[in-house]
Amino acid sequence: MPSISNALGGSTDRTAQSPDGTITGRDDLWEYAGPGEPAPDWPYTGEANIQNQQLSKLLGSPDERLGWTNETERFKVVSVDATKLGDVRIVLSDGYSLLLFPNGIATEAWRFFAPEDERHLVFPIEQESN
| Percent helix, percent strand, percent coil in the chain, to nearest 5 | 15, 35, 55
Kindly state whether residue 113 falls inside one of the protein's structural domains: yes
Kindly state whether residue 72 falls inside one of the protein's structural domains: yes
* Residue 106 C-beta-side C-alpha neighbours within 13 Å: 0
Domain that holds residue 13: 7-123
Number of domains comprising the chain = 1
Kindly state whether residue 128 falls inside one of the protein's structural domains: no
Kindly state whether residue 129 falls inside one of the protein's structural domains: no
Spatial distance between the Cα atoms of 96 and 40, rounded to a whole number of angstroms: 35
Kindly state whether residue 1 falls inside one of the protein's structural domains: no
> pLDDT for 58-84, tens place per residue?
877 777 766 677 777 778 888 888 888
Q: How confident is the model at residue 20 (pLDDT cuts 50, 70, 90)?
A: very high
Kindly state whether residue 108 falls inside one of the protein's structural domains: yes
Kindly state whether residue 91 falls inside one of the protein's structural domains: yes
Spatial distance between the Cα atoms of 17 and 125, rounded to a whole number of angstroms: 27
Pairing between β-strand 77-82 and β-strand 7-10 as defined by DSSP bridges: unpaired
pLDDT reported for residue 129: 46
> pLDDT for 102-126, tens place per residue?
777 777 677 776 767 777 777 766 5
**Whether 17 contacts 97, CB under 8 Å:** yes
**Whether 4 contacts 69, CB under 8 Å:** yes
pLDDT reported for residue 4: 45
Kindly state whether residue 68 falls inside one of the protein's structural domains: yes
